[in-house]
Amino acid sequence: MLLSGPDDRRDLPRGDAIDLGGVADSVVWRIPAGQRLLFEDFEDGIVMFDARVGSTHLLNVTAAEALAVVESEPGMTSDAIRARLIDRLSIDPAQLPVSAVGEMLTQLENLGIVAAETQ
């Protein structure tokens, strides 16, 4: 679950196949320059503050962990991020389809929280 604002709840897609057209491997992810993210971890979700634009979002654990991965290891592909997430969250790979990671990163990109770069 990822919220773009206090009253704007949207569920992340859960595994529907997306044809990434071979683009995924050439796209890497990073946190935009000047971006600063603050996190507050609560029992029902992680609230994140985007200090660059002053917006607040509610993230699930996967999205928050993905941000942590992108922040600590910029320049990773979505496949590599997915592998990190599976490892960090100790989950079965089948629980985190490639397409779900791609869509999650795209949602975060649309919110200006991460940026994609083509290699």
Partner 1 sequence: MKVGALSASGVHAAMSSRGIAIAAPPIIVRLRSPLRFLADQIRALYGDYDVVDPEAFADVDVRMCVVGGVRRWRRPKVQFVVDGVAPFDPFPLENAMPMFEWGLNWAFSQRANQNLLLHASVVERDGRAILFPAWPGSGKSTLAGSLVCRGWRLLSDEFGIVPLGGASVIPFVRPIALKNESIAVMRAFAPDAYIGPIFPATRKGDVAHLRPTSLSTARSRESAPVHAVVFPNFQRDEPVSVQRLEPAKTFLKLAGNAFNYEVVGERGFSAVASIVRQSSSHIIHYGDLDGAHAALEEILRATPDK
Q: Applying CB under 8 A, which residues contact partner 1?
A: 3, 5-7, 38, 40, 42-47, 49, 51, 54, 56, 58
- The answer to whether 55 touches 5, Cβ cutoff 8 Å, is yes
Closer CB to partner 1, 50 or 109, in the complex: 50
Closer CB to partner 1, 25 or 41, in the complex: 41
- The answer to whether 98 touches 25, Cβ cutoff 8 Å, is no
DSSP 52: T
Strand partners, 59: 2, 46
CB of 44 to partner 1, least distance (A): 4
CB of 80 to partner 1, least distance (A): 29
